[in-house]
Amino acid sequence: MTARLPAIFKTTATRLSALYLLLFALCAMILVFYTTSLSVRMLTGQLQETISDEVPILGRAYQRGGVPLLVRFVEQRSRQPGANLYLLADPQGRILAGNVEALQPGVLDIEGWSDTPFLYSRFAAAEAEAETANEGHRAVAFVMRLPNQMILLVGRDLGEAERLRFVMRRALILALGFMGLGALIIWYVVGRRALRRIDRVSDAGRRIMAGDLTGRLPISGAGDEFDRLSENLNSMLGRIASLNEGLKQVSDNIAHDLKTPLTRMRNRAEAALAGDKRSGEYRKVLEATITEADQLIRTFNAILMISRLEAGYSAEQTGSIDLTAIIADVVDLYEPLAEENGVAFVADAAANASVTGNRELIGQALSNVVDNAIKYSQGHGENPTVRVALRRVADAWRIDVEDSGPGIAEADRARATERFVRLEDSRSQPGSGLGLSLAKAIMGFHGGGLELSGRDPGLCVSMTFPDRKAD
């Protein structure tokens, strides 16, 4: 844990906790000081009122009975429990009567209200309940000079206000202490918890980086922001893993599908070199080699194109294109081939369909699909037929290419569009095995899709184009 501490201090949680603590403490202090000073002022005001009430009474006593009556009044009031402070002094400041034993010097020199509380002490005898009589007390007082120059002081002890202030301060300190403690606990719990989860995520990340692409970030199930983050990172990892898997599969396939023709080429050249041959035979070998090399180039180009399209950063030009015209072109291109192969070729594309896309790419996709359809229908069934139909489906245009070939078993359909996949029964057919995957990549590039569905008999390849103009 000590090793953790430096890390925990660097967290956002710590910084936020400290900031909040500081703010709340400041607020609490301001609040407490404000209430205290307000209460103390109010209390002082009350005291002054009590004194103000007393002063005229004593003044009247002096007018009526002179000093003796005043002294009597003062003595009498002094003895009452919880009495005010009274003091009568001669012009020189010597105390004549009252319950004040000693005063801070200078208090009697200023007439009227004493601006600041002053220290005084009371006669121990007069204050029965006072245990701390000899200690200095603080008080406020009103000082007046009688007509005969004697000085009369009426005051009130500030003990209550002082006590209030004391209690408030203690409360403040206590509150601040609890607040700090609370903040500390919350910060520790929250900060450490967050830190622990982040550490877990980092650990998982490190493991994944180390090569374990199947690893996933832990999800606590709390559905909080950490979970959301982890979920997103996990789906990102899933995407990376699937791309990686695709890449791996492609390299495997390249290794297999490209190595075979390369080996064949090499062997043929080797066989041609061995033994004496006539120039006509060399020619034949070389021609076959060129044909094979061309096929390889074609395969490479298709792979490159699929990768570019799938990566999605291709900036191929798109514009408004006429699907009907493209269908007409492809039909025109393939009709003789179909006829030669004894396949009836029917097109139903009367609708005038305009979509956003790239004419070349769509033409290529459709021609690949049609090419496949003819290839697999050929010689299959009574009346081999390939039908190309343009249909309006919800907000999309769909080109269906239906054939009457052997079809593809439902379980294999998803695989059929994968790169290089030539389902076992079709291995004998010519082709790179890239036709459908290229078509699918092209459809993906156009924001559409390519789906395979079964017919009885045959296969239907549906190419869906979202109608972007409808947006």
Binding site for other proteins (CB under 8 A): 287, 290-291, 293-294, 297-298, 300-302, 304-305, 308, 314-317, 329, 332-334, 336-337, 340, 358, 360-361, 363-364, 367-368, 371-372, 374-375, 430-432, 435
200 vs 308, beta carbon nearer other proteins: 308
**Judging by beta carbons within 10 Å of its beta carbon (0-12, 13-18, 19+), is residue 410 exposed, middle or buried?**
exposed
166 vs 300, beta carbon nearer other proteins: 300
**Judging by beta carbons within 10 Å of its beta carbon (0-12, 13-18, 19+), is residue 399 exposed, middle or buried?**
buried
| Pair of tokens at residue 159 | 């003990």
131 CB-near residues (< 8 Å, 6+ apart): none
Q: Which of 320, 334, 410 is CA-nearest to residue 374?
A: 334
* Minimum distance of other proteins from residue 263's CB (angstroms): 19
216 vs 440, beta carbon nearer other proteins: 440
| Pair of tokens at residue 413 | 């359909």
How many residues can be counted in the chain?
A: 471
84 CB-near residues (< 8 Å, 6+ apart): 50, 51, 54, 77, 154, 155, 156
| Pair of tokens at residue 99 | 């319950």
* Minimum distance of other proteins from residue 215's CB (angstroms): 36
Other beta carbons within 10 Å of 463 = 25
* Minimum distance of other proteins from residue 324's CB (angstroms): 16
The residues facing 151 across adjacent strands are 89, 145
The one-letter amino acid at 423: L
* Minimum distance of other proteins from residue 413's CB (angstroms): 20
149 vs 317, beta carbon nearer other proteins: 317
* Minimum distance of other proteins from residue 412's CB (angstroms): 20
* Minimum distance of other proteins from residue 438's CB (angstroms): 9
179 vs 305, beta carbon nearer other proteins: 305
The residues facing 347 across adjacent strands are 388
84 vs 432, beta carbon nearer other proteins: 432
